[in-house]
Amino acid sequence: MVRTRVGYAGGTKDQPTYHDLGDHTEAIQIDFDPDVISYQELLALFWTSHNPTRRAFSTQYASWVMPHGEEQARLLRISREAVEEKLGRKVATGLRADGTFWRAEGYHQKYRLRHAGRLHDALVQHFGDDRAFVDSTAAARINGLLDGYGTRQAVQELDLPEPIVELLP
């Protein structure tokens, strides 16, 4: 993973906010290096991270994939058919046309890390401002690390200053 962010997408409302979401859904966007992890692998994780046969209770919390480009759309079709064959049921998880992804407000981004006190403050200072912090690979990896995912080594390989490394969990 290179960068991650949360936001609102799939709807038509311009400039949605958390309290005025319109017809959008809460979504995540991931920038990834296909030489390291493929789109198929991300799709496989997506399918196992939710119940694809359950219909959404609301638009805000729906499950769907928004493929970017023809190749992602093709891979999604293949992946979805494989899931349906495996489950023996139709998949309720939807598909959205490629469209605008509206970044959520800053206080939603890197939520766990944002509440990590000195570690968060040190990272914001290191990257210069909140936007750069949110868009950093380090923030994405440390945010996961705080909840037990990934490795400390994967963070240390980013060559962060020692005072920050010392604050890592």
23 binds another protein (CB under 8 A): no
CA 114 to CA 134: how far, in whole Å?
9
CA 83 to CA 91: how far, in whole Å?
8
Contacts of residue 27, defined as CB under 8 A and 6 or more positions apart, other chains included, come to 6, 7, 8, 9, 10, 66, 101
64 binds another protein (CB under 8 A): yes
Stretch that binds another protein, among 79-87, 116-124, 126-134, 157-165 (CB under 8 A): 157-165
106 binds another protein (CB under 8 A): no
> Which residues in 77-116 are b (16+ Cβ under 10 Å) and which e?
eebbeebeeeeeeebebeeeeeeebbbbeeebbbeebbeb
Contacts of residue 107, defined as CB under 8 A and 6 or more positions apart, other chains included, come to 114
Chain residues 31-60 in contact with another protein, contact rule CB under 8 A: 31-37, 39, 41-42, 45-46, 49-50, 56-58, 60
126 binds another protein (CB under 8 A): no
Q: Which of 20, 23, 81, 147 binds another protein (CB under 8 A)?
A: 147
Residues in contact with another protein by the rule CB under 8 A:
1-2, 4, 6, 9-10, 18, 25-37, 39, 41-42, 45-46, 49-50, 56-58, 60-66, 68, 72, 96, 101, 104, 108, 111-112, 137, 140-141, 143-147, 149-151, 153-155, 157-159
